[in-house]
Amino acid sequence: MTGTIGDGALGLASLRSELTLPEAQSNALRDRYWLPQPRLDVGRALRGVASASLDVSDGLVADVGHICETSKVGARIRRSAIPLSDAARAAVAHDPKWWTNILGGGDDYEIAFTAPPIHARKLAALAAQRGIALTRIGEIVAGKDVTVIGDDNQIIAVPTAGFSTAEKTGARFKTGAEGLL
């Protein structure tokens, strides 16, 4: 995936005075919520490399679920691999309950994508050319569920799940997700 996840949802929580952080961190989260920076150029550059992709607007787990539903596969996400901004890291260090917002909240507009492992060098080159972080957060697996695994290898429940089907969002996906997430 591109960039960091959770800033949009945490920015909204900050605006609602539900999350209190130092001013600079609160402002960074609010800016990510108010002024999202969709990765359109990266999305175009993923053509021919990614087997499936979409922006994270409904929440990481929900949007990866859209890929899985369309491709008739499952996904396993390692929570410890999810890239966080300094402000999001501070929020979960203060109170781990904010992981729910990070995993289930939306409005980040980063790109979650799948790609076969053979494209690792192309992805590294793309990241370097665009000056953006690309992070492997999991893998595509047999099944149909998106599972988030914690540091203790236990499944983490994510109560916030965004829209439940691609049809509700009007999204179109290329089927055939494979490889790494």
H or E element in which residue 11 lies: helix 7-15
pLDDT for the residue 168: 43
Residue 180 falls inside a structural domain: no
Q: What's the domain count of the chain?
A: 1
pLDDT for the residue 165: 43
Distance, in Å, from the CA atom of 146 to the CA atom of 135, rounded to the nearest integer, reads 18
Residue 174 falls inside a structural domain: no
Residue 14 falls inside a structural domain: yes
pLDDT for the residue 120: 94
Residue 92 falls inside a structural domain: yes
Residue 20 belongs to domain spanning: 7-169
Q: Which pLDDT tens digits describe the chain residue by residue (181 residues)?
A: 999 999 999 999 999 999 999 999 999 999 999 999 899 999 999 999 999 999 999 999 999 999 999 999 999 999 999 999 999 999 999 999 999 999 999 999 999 999 999 999 999 999 999 999 999 999 999 998 999 999 899 999 886 555 444 444 444 444 455 655 6
Residue 21 falls inside a structural domain: yes
In 3D space, the residue among 1, 151, 18, 77 whose CA is nearest the CA of residue 9 turns out to be 18
Residue 1 falls inside a structural domain: no
Residue 132 falls inside a structural domain: yes
Residue 69 falls inside a structural domain: yes
Which CATH number do you get for residue 56? 3.90.650.10
Ordered strands of the 146-149 beta sheet = 138-141, 74-78, 146-149, 155-156
The answer to whether 45 touches 95, Cβ cutoff 8 Å, is no
* pTM for this model (two decimals): 0.85
The answer to whether 85 touches 102, Cβ cutoff 8 Å, is no
